């Protein structure tokens, strides 16, 4: 072999050797016929599943973030409105001017009512209390002769009544602590029409829910006689018309 052909021969041999090595590497990397892949561990499988779930839930996470932002925005708005309402309530309470007028619910008719009517009376008293608490000119509110079925029903169904504010709840009859000359009884049984309120007086409302079972009762004619100095009236609206016709006895306390 001549010296001129030697470099070409060496180069050709190197090329063939490289091709042979690459083919051997490919063969070694390919699985042989019948040969199995190496199994994936449980840890790797869990990781792959978790990754897949993460990708699948991408839109769901985006939607949740959007809803969370909206919820926080709504909460901030509600909190702001609540603060404004609270300031309004405080301002209203500062503007309250208490009246010296005394309003008494006479609960001495307990024995004349069944439990069903006692419960109705309780609800009416609750309404009266709530209305008076919200009023800009609340009256001096009294419950007298408080006991019997009414107290038992309030103890069982409205235990918070012991924490009521701006109300005087007394077991005594109103005649024991109110002067006789200051008392005025409001009743639909009276022929007298009351058109103006005197803030120095104490106005009494009968706490009786009877569905007209005890019509007139003869109570007001026997006890509230003119010669005793006691007065009774039928409450009037500002326009001069009776709030309740004499043919329809008063049944709802809070409407008085």
Q: Mean pLDDT by 10-residue block, N- to C-terminus, for the chain (256 residues)?
A: 51 57 56 60 85 86 87 78 60 76 93 92 93 91 95 92 93 92 82 84 88 52 49 47 42 50
**Predicted local confidence at residue 126, as pLDDT:** 93
**Predicted local confidence at residue 172, as pLDDT:** 96
Annotated active-site residue 198? The verdict is no
The catalytic position among 117, 158, 166, 210 is 210
Helices (H), the chain: 6-29, 42-56, 58-94, 115-134, 148-157, 219-222
Distances (CA, A) of 146 to 9, 18, 112, 173, 223: 126, 112, 14, 8, 20
Neighbouring CB atoms inside 10 A of 217's CB total 18
**Predicted local confidence at residue 242, as pLDDT:** 39
**Predicted local confidence at residue 11, as pLDDT:** 56
Local structure of residue 250 (DSSP, 8 states): -
């Amino acid at each position: 072999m001549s010296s001129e052909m030697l470099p070409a021969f060496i180069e050709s041999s190197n090329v063939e050797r490289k091709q042979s090595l690459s083919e051997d590497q490919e063969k070694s990397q390919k699985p042989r016929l019948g040969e199995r892949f190496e199994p994936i561990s449980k840890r790797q499988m869990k990781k792959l599943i978790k990754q897949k779930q993460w990708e699948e839930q991408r839109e769901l996470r985006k939607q949740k973030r959007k809803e969370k932002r909206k919820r926080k925005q709504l909460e901030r708005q509600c909190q702001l409105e609540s603060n404004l309402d609270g300031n309004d309530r405080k301002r209203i309470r500062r503007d309250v001017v208490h009246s010296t007028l005394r309003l008494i619910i006479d609960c001495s008719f307990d024995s004349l009512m069944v439990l069903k009517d006692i419960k109705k009376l309780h609800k009416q008293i609750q309404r009266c209390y709530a209305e008076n608490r919200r009023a800009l000119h609340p009256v001096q509110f009294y419950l007298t002769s408080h006991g019997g079925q009414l107290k038992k029903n309030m103890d069982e169904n409205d235990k918070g009544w012991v924490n009521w504010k701006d109300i005087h709840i007394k077991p005594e009859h109103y005649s024991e602590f109110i002067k006789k000359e200051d008392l005025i009884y409001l009743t639909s049984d009276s022929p007298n029409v009351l058109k103006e309120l005197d803030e120095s007086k104490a106005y009494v409302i009968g706490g009786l829910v009877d569905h007209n079972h005890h019509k007139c009762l003869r109570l007001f004619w026997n006890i509230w006689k003119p010669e005793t100095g006691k007065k009774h009236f039928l409450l009037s609206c500002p326009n001069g018309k009776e709030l309740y016709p004499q043919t329809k006895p008063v049944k709802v306390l809070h409407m008085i």
